Amino acid sequence: MTTTNEKNIATFLHLSALTQYIIPFGNYIFPIVIWSSKKNESEFVDQNGKQVLNFQLSIFLYMVVLCLIAIPIFIYSIFKNVPMNDIDFDRHYVIENLSAGNITGITILGIIAVLLFFFLKVIEFILIIYAAVKASNGEAYKYPLSIPFFK
């Protein structure tokens, strides 16, 4: 039986991941601090803390992969037909080269990666709220797409 205090701590643990929108890396710092201070006192809090950290690390890994796909593709798409000595940044070359006629299949892959990035951030926000509600009800919740770094 989980106590109200354990439910509140687990709920706050999930919601502390939302601090990423206010404090850089707050989604790692605050859950780690809360989890490490309370993990020995409650199995419920320990399980929720591991879930939060696994999910945040998984999302970070997915975001890095999407950035590693999108950024080089966009750099290549912008500068693919231009000799480096012809680039004059005062002439707004980058804006002129981004027309619909220059979009290729690889550029579409980059656009899809950017869209997936934003979709993942929205899903992350929704899942954090959902997990916090589950924790406040005393239910164990396992995030989807989460790689089990902590077992």
- Alpha-carbon torsion (147, 114, 31, 18), positive or negative: negative
Please state the pTM of the whole predicted model: 0.81
- Amino acid letter, 51: Q
The alpha carbon torsion through 83, 86, 87, 90 (nearest 10 deg) reads -170
Residues 6+ apart with CB under 8 A from 20: 26, 27
| Per-residue pLDDT of the chain in tens (151 residues, 90 and over written 9) | 678 999 999 999 999 999 999 999 989 999 999 999 988 998 999 999 999 999 999 999 999 999 998 888 877 777 676 666 655 555 555 555 555 566 677 778 888 888 999 999 999 999 999 999 999 999 989 999 899 988 8
